[in-house]
Chains A and B, each alone.
Chain A
């Protein structure tokens, strides 16, 4: 018992009961009016004609290269849908469809299961129907209740850029993937959605906006008329211009022949990627959603890994190009006089150790200063000098150049590689299973536990080419605004020292990259790498940059298990630079100033 007794008045109780009674009676009388008195009218309305909202489509945006060459477009096909509750006999009707279209009955059944959305919603059971198949279906209309065909745009990938890695592909949305998609875009099972590459990255821009139209249908769902009030038109997706030059891309790809590898070319000032080859690639069939389970399994188990976009998801030891990291670190911290000469007699034995580390040139390079060490890629010089720094500072320098983080390229599935630090070594080898000095000997050659993606290497080159100032972020969308990575503050003198070394790599006698040398007056800077790895022959790298018409371009060539960077990668790089020089009008013209 609380403070006070119930004072409720029977009059108030009756008032509220009265209000309740009247309200419920009002509702019930309205239901009575609609369901009993007006029943005939509404029943016939629901039976004969119903207004149904139906989605309308518009084409997906095109993808074009920097010169306006169409790379991806749409072509119209017909799809066949079935509305389950209208089927008289599923088995019979499906076998008729199988006869007409020559699609095995089991495939039709499989698709029916996969895309089923409910008894009353149309399910897409066949695609790419020809006109003659459509006419045969129309002829046997009476036997085929519940089937409808509809125009449907499929993607067509032109031969101009035969590259699945950049463009990606579309995939049919099935019941499982539906729940993971953006609800506000009104995706439905059976429609296409960008699943890889640029098609995925720019899904929101490329995808049409769905419209709604209201159609009057009869009980069998057949269209009687269209109602134009309230309908929302569908709009096509936006076209996407990409920074790739299709001709350069094709040319670079041809240089790799059948070798596994990567070729990247970019404009340093704008971050535009002109060429992005990852070899091998895979067949165009996958684009059209026709690839079956078995072909997929073959692709996935192929030992040359065609499915992987090596430029952003391939991890490699960078090799000698990381000697520059040591050089930057030492000069900037005043630990090294670049003019000092060291003696390379072909091998290096750390103080207090019995193990000997060999230079690649068995006879040794003789007296070596920094310039020569870079140009001829002397190991001993860097073995000795790296001892002057420590692991913490060294990894810090590597990370400043963008390793161990994303390049923020506009493609999905980018990996960040691995720059090992103290924690990593302790975790991997235990507290006493490694020594800092020993590890540095490996790291300074870009070997051991370092892993980088070729695109990260491209960013590294761009940082160097722009002397750390206003290095543009790498991008594939031509209309994406130019953005910049963080600046790298090193003294001019440091940059100049390294530049001299890189110039001599290509242009001096005995430079490891002499095979890339140009006959024209183009000044090519570069660094070769020959990266040892556990999977076979070393990877051949060439990373470089050059100036043309007051713009800087950078280039990364990687031939997987190709052998020496000087012998294998340099000539390819040289050819690409010549190609760009000859065709500079197209490649340079589109640059945003």
Chain B
């Protein structure tokens, strides 16, 4: 079985392109359904076609690039993308944020490309053969780089992108062979804070954590200190949140993190989205027939809530196809990461895969009310130029990295 992984990459790439084309077609069919006047040049549908053609062009440009060039210039690429993120601060704000650069025919969001650059520079660091991956200190530099990137994006402000920048770090560390317990220690405090909202869940989490701390090796004293540090974080956080911050401070903090929050209350959006999805049933209401969608009950339907449109008009059947396509997309990425002979390439692919996956997961989870509303689009389906371009850049990078 493993011999397969060592054979040529073309078969995987072929599969990859087929999946992407299916997703693109699905997206266009859906956009056609929700555009008022699809044939007009200014419709979402038509603009999306233009974006895709432009992205194809960029895809082929990147195909000409050399992996070694990318590897050797990774620091330069990172610094370039980093400073690109400063440009919007000197331009007039777009929708009260400093995320976009207006190129006239469309907006680009430098934060999107900083995601890729961060991965490349971390991969270069981790693929250094002089590195002792078993030592815990090596997590410091990747985390510092990610934090630096997240910090600038957070000031734009763009919480969504900042979170996505962190997403690849853990999978990449895991892939590089960093101690699993160390990675656990990184996630544990976050999970503790989340669990602290509910007394029962917090107790269960305390027990699970206790078992994990028992299984892993290490000095007893260190493990006990870390365990209780976690527990106290969990106990103190609600206290801090509720007592040390006033209501308006909390609100201001949340508003700062989430400026696109709809003033009408995001629960209205979620309710409309869930109603649309649920009313779709097994086979959906048919193309162009979704009443929730077409009566515009469903908000931001061309980008953030496009999966809800698919679910309403094509039903569980349609959404299952999408989910299977997404699963195959990510799995093919993983296969390629495992199969490529070059370590740097492998790490970059893992990072890019994580970005792709976190977009898919966060967006789908939001439409079905598993996560708070956050303006993140779905790869290859949602309308929007900057993100479509990023998806094609990722695809093209994966393709040249795996051909190595």
Residues of B within 8 A of A418 (CB): none
Tell me if B342 and A2 are in contact (CB < 8 A): yes
Tell me if A34 and B368 are in contact (CB < 8 A): yes
In the assembly, what is the distance between CA of A39 and CA of B282, in Å? 8
The 0/1 profile, CB within 8 Å of B marked 1, for residues 126-143 of chain A is 000000000000000000
- The interface on chain A, measured as residues whose beta carbon lies within 8 A of the other chain's beta carbons, has a size of 52
Residues of A within 8 A of B345 (CB): 2, 6
Query: Which of A6, A23, A119, A212 counts the most B-chain CB atoms under 10 A from its CB?
Result: A6
Complex: chain A residue closest to B316, CB-CB: A35
In the assembly, what is the distance between CA of A20 and CA of B370, in Å? 17
- Which secondary structure characterizes the binding site on chain B? helix
Complex: chain B residue closest to A21, CB-CB: B327
Tell me if A43 and B278 are in contact (CB < 8 A): yes
The verdict on A118 contacting chain B, using a C-beta distance below 8 Å, is yes
In the assembly, what is the distance between CA of A3 and CA of B2, in Å? 23
The 0/1 profile, CB within 8 Å of B marked 1, for residues 110-151 of chain A is 000000011111000000000000000000000000000000
Given A42-B275, A50-B291, decide whether A1 and B404 contact each other with a Cβ distance below 8 A: yes
- Partner-binding segment picked from B53-61, B81-89, B150-158, B170-178: B170-178
In the assembly, what is the distance between CA of A215 and CA of B288, in Å? 24
Residues of A within 8 A of B357 (CB): 20, 23
Query: Which of A1, A20, A38, A50 counts the most B-chain CB atoms under 10 A from its CB?
Result: A20
Residues of A within 8 A of B282 (CB): 35-36, 39
Tell me if B277 and A15 are in contact (CB < 8 A): no
- Partner-binding segment picked from A24-32, A408-416, A508-516: A24-32
- Total contacts A-B at CB 8 Å: 161
Please report which residues of chain B, range 314-339, place their CB below 8 angstroms from some CB of chain A when the two chains form the complex.
315-316, 319-320, 323, 326-327, 330-331, 334, 337-338
In the assembly, what is the distance between CA of A23 and CA of B371, in Å? 13
Complex: chain B residue closest to A214, CB-CB: B268
Tell me if B278 and A41 are in contact (CB < 8 A): yes
Tell me if A2 and B316 are in contact (CB < 8 A): no
Given A16-B334, A51-B297, A119-B294, decide whether A6 and B340 contact each other with a Cβ distance below 8 A: yes
Tell me if B341 and A6 are in contact (CB < 8 A): yes
The verdict on A219 contacting chain B, using a C-beta distance below 8 Å, is yes
Residues of A within 8 A of B337 (CB): 8, 13
CB distance from B327 to the nearest CB of A (A): 5
Residues of A within 8 A of B334 (CB): 13, 16-17, 20
Tell me if B295 and A120 are in contact (CB < 8 A): yes
The verdict on B192 contacting chain A, using a C-beta distance below 8 Å, is no
10 A-B pairs whose Cβ atoms sit less than 8 Å apart in the complex: A2-B344, A4-B129, A5-B342, A7-B176, A12-B177, A16-B171, A28-B319, A39-B282, A45-B278, A119-B36
Q: Which residues of A contact B (CB under 8 A)?
A: 1-10, 12-13, 15-17, 20-21, 23-24, 26-28, 30-32, 34-36, 38-39, 41-43, 45-47, 50-53, 85, 117-121, 179, 212, 219, 221, 230, 232
Taking A2-B344, A21-B327, A27-B370 as known contacts, 18 extra A-B pairs with beta carbons closer than 8 A to each other, sorted by chain A number, are A2-B345, A3-B128, A6-B342, A28-B319, A34-B274, A34-B277, A34-B368, A39-B281, A39-B282, A42-B275, A45-B278, A47-B279, A50-B275, A50-B291, A52-B297, A53-B264, A120-B296, A179-B42
The 5 closest A-B pairs by CB, nearest first: A42-B278, A46-B279, A118-B36, A35-B316, A34-B278
